[in-house]
Amino acid sequence: MRRTTTLRTGLSALLLLGTWATASALPASAADAPARSTEAPASSALLSAMQRDLGLTREGAEARLAAEKTATAVERKARNAAGPAYGGSWYDAGSGTLTVAVTRAAHADAVRATGATVRLVRYSARQLDTAKKSIDALPAPAGVGSWHVDPKANKVVVDVVAAHRDDNDVRAFLTRARQAGPVTVRQTPAAPRTFAAGTVGGDPYYTGNVRCSIGFSVHGGFVTAGHCGSPSAAVYGWDRSYVGSFQGSSFPGNDYAWVNVGSGWWTVPVVLGWGTVSDQLVRGSAEAPVGASVCRSGSTTHWHCGTVLAKNETVNYSQGAVHQMTKTSVCAEPGDSGGSFISGDQAQGVTSGGWGNCGSGGETWHQPVNEILNRYGLRLHTA
């Protein structure tokens, strides 16, 4: 979008990309954006989207955002209080409380003092993470969708595509996975896939014959999904004018990238609401706990909300495994790849892939934004 374009057109068009992007500022040192917030970060339209997708009343959505903000702060304190006995944590929307698992009763009082509920478990988060890393090293067949540490189950959960649960290679994988540590198996209806799309007119950004969505503005450009483009690939905006190029990209293994911005394009700390909800300001990147609400903006299905289901999950795409992903109940479709995941006013990550669609439902994974910022030495553009 060039500077000669009218402001009204510029605002509506660039916001179609999911956020804005800057021509003047350069990447800064690696740092997580501060978790600054206002007392009322949610717009009325954001609350409406949560009502639609989560079945809440307006008052319920406001109360949930407030409780989740508290839980996010409590989680950091509780993790420190638990020390090596920390076994993970999760937020319960019904009670509005954060539960922290610990392996030693002696640490329970200190954790409770932070405001968290305590559950005694057998395995620490470190032990479960070690088991998961061992499973990460195994070659996974197509019938295995993903695997992650589930603190509530206190095990590593392996998701197997239902139609392939009895395949010999799936059974062999599960046998080896169980040798790595405590494992439980669940079924998923479909295999994960990325959400890039072939070119269709008018939306977000294009590279080659692929359309994807902008994630979040950083000083100097924007972050997005790695499977959308390779390093040095040119990027074009909604009007096919040149925006910049991929400065870094990783996929598989990871699924993140960043694009520099110039040629009259600029950045602002905004996630697009697509006219369905108000555009949302980005004020930081504090990571929401498992169980918290989260919303996604993308160029195909626009704005949808759900909850965080799991963290640090390994997703087995047909192109290869991607690690340290966050799984959510939010739907997505081709073209949404790279788009924004946000909780309240806090950036969470960029859309990677999933299964299902926004008609019948499904699950979607995102690559956490703080990992991307640290990997490339970027600074999130915040309001």
**What is the percent of the chain where pLDDT is above 90?**
77
Task: Give the integer Cα–Cα distance in Å for 49 and 271.
Answer: 14
Q: Is the pLDDT of residue 11 over 70?
A: no
In this prediction, residue 344 has a pLDDT band, given cuts at 50, 70 and 90, of: very high
pLDDT digits (tens, 9 = 90+) for 121-178: 999 999 999 999 999 999 999 999 999 999 999 999 999 999 999 999 999 999 999 9
Task: Give the integer Cα–Cα distance in Å for 55 and 50.
Answer: 7
Task: Evaluate whether 1 touches 238 at the Cβ level (below 8 Å).
Answer: yes
Give counts: helices (H), strands (E), the chain.
7, 23
89, 337, 340, 352: the active-site residue = 337
Q: What is the mean pLDDT of residues 82-108?
A: 96
What confidence score (pLDDT) does residue 5 get?
A: 28
Q: Is 107 a catalytic residue?
A: no
How many CA atoms does the CB half-sphere of 362 hold within 13 Å? 19
Q: What is the mean pLDDT of residues 29-55?
A: 63
Return the minimum-mean-pLDDT range out of 39-48, 275-284, 321-330: 39-48
Q: What is the mean pLDDT of residues 229-258?
A: 94
What confidence score (pLDDT) does residue 153 get?
A: 97
Q: Is the pLDDT of residue 17 over 90?
A: no
In this prediction, residue 202 has a pLDDT band, given cuts at 50, 70 and 90, of: very low
pLDDT digits (tens, 9 = 90+) for 261-270: 988 888 889 9
Q: Which two tokens stand for residue 223?
A: 């972050």
Q: Is the pLDDT of residue 4 over 60?
A: no
227, 304, 366, 381: the active-site residue = 227
What confidence score (pLDDT) does residue 265 get?
A: 85
Q: What is the mean pLDDT of the chain?
A: 87
Q: Is the pLDDT of residue 351 over 70?
A: yes
Q: Which two tokens stand for residue 37?
A: 């917030």
Q: Which two tokens stand for residue 67?
A: 């409780």
Q: Is the pLDDT of residue 200 over 50?
A: no
Coil, strand, or helix at residue 94? coil
255, 279, 336, 345: the active-site residue = 255
Q: What is the mean pLDDT of residues 19-47?
A: 44
Q: Is 255 a catalytic residue?
A: yes
In this prediction, residue 239 has a pLDDT band, given cuts at 50, 70 and 90, of: confident
Coil, strand, or helix at residue 238? coil
Task: Evaluate whether 259 touches 17 at the Cβ level (below 8 Å).
Answer: no
Coil, strand, or helix at residue 80? helix
Residue 305 CB neighbours (<10 A): 25
